């Protein structure tokens, strides 16, 4: 049945092919370009180039293109919380909130005002019966991690045309149909940072107070530029020189002491302090509206590019105690723990604390 479907056109190849597939399926397709950040400095954000790219795609497909500015919503619903988390010593992931609050929040509402039956994006994920959220067929590109905070009602009004495809197939389709973005480079990071160094951008919004870098023994090793510029497991940017009595192995961030404004580091990628046996997550979201049970077994992903690990989950109110079947490296407060039952994404929550290998809870 022919439906009006609004596609979030970003100017990239994925959203372009999503629009193409829906058009070839016989639907009345409209494009929606969302502006989420007002660039106030030349070169800060690629939104202008992205919009021109989206215009070329819409012209090639012969579909209307709408442009909506959600920058104020983004500042209030995503960026403000992002900065607050950094101040608290966390490593937030704004992409999850951007999907829930912007794309499938005000963006979905805007699409409905345009008369859309459904709202489509170029995410690599699938919608199953229920509806449920499923991993994309291309496991290397699967983006269900970033969509775990969506509700069943939002999924019911959405569509992910690329969920059954691999990235190589998407590029091939774009090339075969003559889409002008078939060879456009994939975007990286988030728009308001772009290709610039993260620490340099954050320094424009937060006061970065330099302080000591210390080993867990308390030994002074150097000076950091500000705790918000670092994340757990980080190796680059520490500028700790070689030590005559050291092993020569690289140093990694193992923790932050906010009270003392101190960055804690350890030597060696496999140092036990970089691993956790479990975590506590809060601000939980469940795709089906409720967890499978008060206690259950599943797999969990603690970062987008990190492999799933088997775990047990015990719920208490709006918190989950997660115990890993094997130690996990780089568990980071502020990131998301996302739970899976096979291909189904159950939901997830914000990592609040981790359980180090010593058995003592840590922030």
| pLDDT at residue number 195 | 57
CB atoms within 10 A of CB 62: 8
Question: Comparing 150 with 243, which gets the higher pLDDT?
Answer: 150
pLDDT digits (tens, 9 = 90+) for 16-74: 999 999 999 999 999 999 999 876 544 456 778 899 999 999 999 999 999 999 999 99
Name the helix (H) or strand (E) containing 177.
none
- Give domain status of residue 187, yes or no: no
pLDDT band at 199 (very low <50, low <70, confident <90, very high): confident
Residues 107 and 137 in one domain: yes
Look over the chain and give the mean of its residue pLDDT values, rounded to a whole number. 92
List of residues 6+ apart from 314 with CB closer than 8 A:
294, 295, 320, 321, 323
In this predicted structure, which of 41-50, 244-253, 309-318 has the lowest mean pLDDT? 41-50
Residues 167 and 224 in one domain: no
Q: Is 191 a catalytic residue?
A: yes
Contact 210, 223 (CB under 8 A): yes
Residues 18 and 49 in one domain: yes
- Give domain status of residue 362, yes or no: no
Residues 256 and 287 in one domain: no
Residues 60 and 141 in one domain: yes
pLDDT at 358 over 80: no
| pLDDT at residue number 38 | 77
Per the listing, tokens 């070689």 go with: 242
pLDDT digits (tens, 9 = 90+) for 274-288: 999 999 999 999 999
Over residues 215-241, the mean pLDDT reads: 92
Residues 128 and 32 in one domain: yes
CATH of the domain at 336: 2.40.30.10
pLDDT at 116 over 60: yes
Residue that terminates a domain, selected from 241, 267, 293: 267
In this predicted structure, which of 15-24, 120-129, 225-234 has the lowest mean pLDDT? 225-234
Cis peptide before 235 (omega within 30 of 0): no
The pTM score is 0.93
Residues 8 and 82 in one domain: yes
Residues 124 and 245 in one domain: no
pLDDT at 225 over 50: yes
Residue that terminates a domain, selected from 267, 287, 308: 267
* Percentage above 90 pLDDT, the chain: 83
Pairing verdict, β 132-135 and 4-8: unpaired
Residues 218 and 337 in one domain: no
Whole-angstrom Cα distance, residue 84 to residue 182?
Answer: 38
pLDDT band at 356 (very low <50, low <70, confident <90, very high): confident
Residues 229 and 127 in one domain: no
| pLDDT at residue number 186 | 81
* Catalytic, out of 45, 98, 298, 345: 98
| pLDDT at residue number 42 | 41
| pLDDT at residue number 246 | 60
258 sits in the region (left: phi over 0; alpha: psi -120 to 50; else beta) called alpha
With CA atoms as reference, report the closest residue to 50 among 196, 191, 197, 173.
Answer: 191
Number of domains in the chain: 3
| pLDDT at residue number 357 | 80
Residues 39 and 111 in one domain: yes
- Give domain status of residue 300, yes or no: yes
| pLDDT at residue number 37 | 86
- Give domain status of residue 202, yes or no: no
- Give domain status of residue 184, yes or no: no
Residues 352 and 254 in one domain: no
pLDDT band at 7 (very low <50, low <70, confident <90, very high): very high
End-to-end CA distance of the chain: 52
Pairing verdict, β 295-301 and 336-341: antiparallel
Residue that terminates a domain, selected from 120, 155, 176: 176
Q: Which domain holds residue 220?
A: 209-267
- Give domain status of residue 108, yes or no: yes
- Give domain status of residue 341, yes or no: yes
Q: Is 45 a catalytic residue?
A: no
């Amino acid at each position: 049945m022919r439906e009006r479907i609004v596609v979030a056109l970003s100017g990239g190849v994925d959203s372009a092919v999503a629009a193409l597939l829906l058009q070839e399926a016989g639907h009345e397709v409209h494009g929606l370009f969302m502006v989420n950040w007002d660039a106030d400095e030349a070169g800060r954000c690629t939104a202008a180039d992205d919009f021109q790219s989206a215009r070329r795609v819409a012209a090639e497909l012969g579909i209307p293109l709408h442009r909506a500015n959600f920058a104020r919503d983004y500042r209030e619903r995503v960026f403000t919380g992002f900065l607050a988390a950094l101040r608290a010593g966390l490593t937030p992931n704004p992409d999850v909130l951007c999907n829930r609050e912007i794309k499938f929040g005000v963006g979905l509402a805007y699409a409905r005002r345009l008369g859309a039956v459904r709202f489509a994006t170029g995410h690599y994920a699938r919608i199953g019966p229920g509806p449920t959220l499923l991993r994309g067929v291309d496991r290397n590109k699967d983006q269900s991690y970033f969509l775990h905070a969506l509700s069943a009602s939002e999924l019911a009004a959405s569509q992910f045309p690329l969920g059954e495809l691999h990235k190589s197939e998407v590029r091939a389709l774009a090339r075969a149909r003559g889409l002008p973005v078939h060879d456009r480079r994939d975007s990286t990071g988030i728009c308001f940072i772009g290709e610039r160094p993260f620490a340099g951008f954050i320094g424009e919004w937060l006061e970065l107070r330099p302080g000591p870098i210390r080993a867990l023994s308390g030994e002074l090793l150097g000076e950091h530029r500000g705790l918000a510029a670092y994340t757990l497991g980080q190796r680059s940017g520490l500028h700790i020189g070689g030590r005559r009595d050291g092993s020569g192995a690289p140093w990694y961030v193992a923790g932050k002491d906010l009270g003392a404004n101190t960055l804690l580091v350890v030597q060696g990628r496999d140092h036990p302090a970089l691993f956790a046996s479990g975590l506590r997550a809060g601000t939980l979201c469940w795709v089906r509206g409720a967890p499978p049970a008060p206690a259950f077994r599943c797999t969990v992903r603690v970062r987008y590019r990190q492999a799933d690990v088997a775990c047990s989950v015990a719920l208490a109110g709006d918190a989950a105690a997660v115990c890993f079947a094997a130690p996990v490296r780089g568990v980071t407060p502020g990131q998301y723990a996302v739970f899976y039952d096979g291909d189904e994404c159950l939901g997830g929550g914000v990592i609040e604390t981790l359980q180090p290998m010593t058995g003592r809870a840590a922030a």
